[in-house]
Amino acid sequence: MSDARPWVLTVGPLLPALQSQLEQHYRLLDLWRCDSPAALLAEQGEHVQAVVTTGVHGASANLIEQLPALRAIVCFGVGTDAVDLKAASARGIQVSNTPDVLNDCVADAAMALLLAVARQVVVADRFVRAGRWGAERFGLTTALGGKRCGILGMGPIGQAIARRASAFGMQVSYSSRRPKPQLTYAYHESLLALAERSDFLVLAVPGGTATDGLVNQQVLEALGANGMLVNVARGSVVDQPALIEALSNGRIAGAALDVFADEPHVPAALRELDTVVLSPHVASGTQETRQAMADRVLANLAALFATGRVLHPVREGAQ
């Protein structure tokens, strides 16, 4: 008896529960498990109608070229900067992601990182564990109330961060591709102006060529010696060597980073600084959010094979 299930290719590891559902409903090829991915694609690539991938693994033009029957690239996450959208668009291949369901958790993580760097939570934890409390006094930290929180990117995640920062009594302003008239926060047309008027600069923009290296030496200097950077966007948004130099020489006061230029590799210079809080790209990493993301992946695939269209399309240039 022949197996009529559609062929689906996974590029990298997924949640076990999602992997199990995919194996149940589709003829699954796991590229990341193969000793010879090239051989797998040569032998069975012609059957693949959908690719399931993540923001880290993406889908290159080379991969797309080897899948002649490909109809859709379904991303587990909102980021599609690792997907060659131009190559997909040229072939009429749909690209989908999992919008909205991770906004709150990423915003929560941004505030957790902001609090951690401002109040030196990680340093204080080490201070107590080392038995120094009593023999020494822990230094003073930075309050959030009344401070200026600048947000780069005012999409759904940026807006969720803004609401939380406002609840902490912070003065919120933002910069994005265009102002949002429905919002009451102050708008700055340039990132440089936003940095100059911020005590904390929070990054919440997509990755990709449009935002590559946006936070450079000039922006960090504008943020200033008392300013702190929080990044829950993409590592590519920040000129990482410039950030290391600014932190090492006290040109900014601190940074809290969930993303890096070459994950999972984090430079020793960042790991060794007490003014830096580090997190392993887990801003959306709650059980609830990851399950909701998995559900959207399955819904996008189901819609593709039932109607020919994914539920949450991403267009070239949407980054």
Catalytic residue among 234, 290, 296, 312: 234
Q: Which of 263, 288, 309, 315 is catalytic?
A: 263
CB half-sphere exposure, 277, CA atoms < 13 A: 28
Q: Establish whether 312 is a catalytic residue.
A: no
Residues 6+ apart with CB under 8 A from 58: 11, 80, 81, 82, 83, 84
Q: Is 281 a catalytic residue?
A: yes
What is the CB neighbour count within 10 angstroms for residue 94? 22
- Which among 45, 65, 35, 89 has a CA at the least distance from the CA of 313? 89
Q: Is 47 one of the annotated active-site residues of the chain? A: no
Q: CA nearest 79: which of 95, 90, 63, 62?
A: 95
Q: Which residues contact 294 (CB under 8 A, 6 or more apart)?
A: 14, 15, 17, 18, 21, 76
Q: What are phi and psi of 152, to 5 degrees?
A: -90, 110
**Which of the 8 DSSP states describes residue 314?**
-
| Tokens of residue 91, six digits | 């072939």
Q: Which residues are catalytic?
A: 234, 263, 281
